[in-house]
Structure 1
């Protein structure tokens, strides 16, 4: 196990690789590899272990009541999966996690996580920080998924990216295909709505660059 890489993960940030190696020597922790398309966890499966990606990325998807598979997000290494759901009375994986490429992950049984948190104050602080950040992202995602129209989703996405990039000209960090998957719509539907918004003067689009022309109108869209 490469403890240098593991020391770079958010959970073990600030802990030297040598110290991690000593900690792991007395715990039941394993390293697993997953091929592209292989599942790391299933939706509604009991969360009885902490999965930390050390290489590669996974896509998190959720089945809605109609049976449609909706993409929630992509999770890149080095990050944990479903850390917020490890404890509690209804600790089930909220999504299914599938490898987007070759993935390496460290698997830590729940009991070992408890030992880690009890033995090291820095690991406990890191765990709480990650959980809080995850809860905030989940809240934003649920708000986003509550929008019914493609236009509202586009407006919300552009407003968020505008804030992050501190500019009304947004460089898309996702391809149109990835963005459509993220929105839970077809690519032609996304392209059509972007064209409509451009024709109405709400935005100006050029390849992967979109300029917000009427931000107030976009904000009103997401506040309805």
Structure 2
């Protein structure tokens, strides 16, 4: 991938919000930013590693994973949209990773060193670095709000209530939901197994509450659906 293509993707990310073309070019030209390629199956970083960069996906797909003491692998999340960022919280807090990231396909990433937003005393910050610092604050605020929302969903009493409260914000005016993530992601988000999630969605379908096909869900009985809110 060329620097030009990387610049186009970077310009659309929340990290580069408010940057002009010159700012994006300055950021990419910095010694604190590197374009990396990883083959399929490569581990981007391991559980327990100390962070040294935040990562922006340019191309491909990675999975965030965790292994249990018994050796079982837990799927946490997938990252497959160009411009998606990961690892930034650990990098800023300087906390060891408590999960690991593996390339599901060949991937290209931008690795942004912490030096860009943790400058040495007396060092004059570049404009692009100041914008990155500001945008990181907004990103963390957004993640805090998302975690607050997730905790409210996980506090629901039953799996059906969790599913309904997860789906409700995504319903359009026609009563349809176009999911942007996989069922594996939703199951991990709700802290349930994929089979349990599928069984409950199937039960809701048999009861005439929803119609589910792949990542498309249509609410057939909104009144009954909303009883679980």
- How far the C-alpha of 1:105 sits from its partner, in A, is 0.9
The answer to whether the 8 Å contact 2:205/2:212 transfers is no
Alignment of 1:65-214 (within 5 A): 68-75=72-79, 76-88=81-93, 91-115=95-119, 118-120=125-127, 121-144=130-153, 150-162=159-171, 165-166=172-173, 168-174=175-181, 179-180=186-187, 183=190, 184-187=192-195, 189-201=196-208, 203-207=209-213, 208-211=216-219, 213=221, 214=224
Q: Which residue of 2 aligns with 1:215?
A: 225
State the secondary structure of the residue aligned to 1:158: helix
Q: Distance in 2 between matches of 1:177 and 1:79?
A: 18
- Alpha-carbon deviations, 1:131-154, whole Å to 9, x = none? 212232344345545668543432
Q: Indicate the RMSD between aligned Cα atoms, in angstroms.
A: 3.3
Give, in whole Å, the separation in 2 of the partners of 1:25 and 1:209: 44
Using structure 1 for the length normalisation, give the TM-score: 0.74
Tell me the number of residue pairs that the alignment of Structure 1 and Structure 2 aligns: 214
Unaligned runs of 5+ in 1: 220-224
SS at match of 2:118: helix
Cα deviation, residue 156, structure 1: 2.6
Alignment partners' CA distance in 1, 2:28 and 2:140: 22
Matched, 1:56 2:60: yes
Question: Corresponding residue for 2:47?
Answer: 43
Q: Which runs of 5+ in 2 are unaligned?
A: none
Match of 2:18, SS state, is: coil
**Would the alpha carbon gap of residues 157 and 195 (structure 1) be closer, same or farther in structure 2, given more than 3 Å must change?**
same
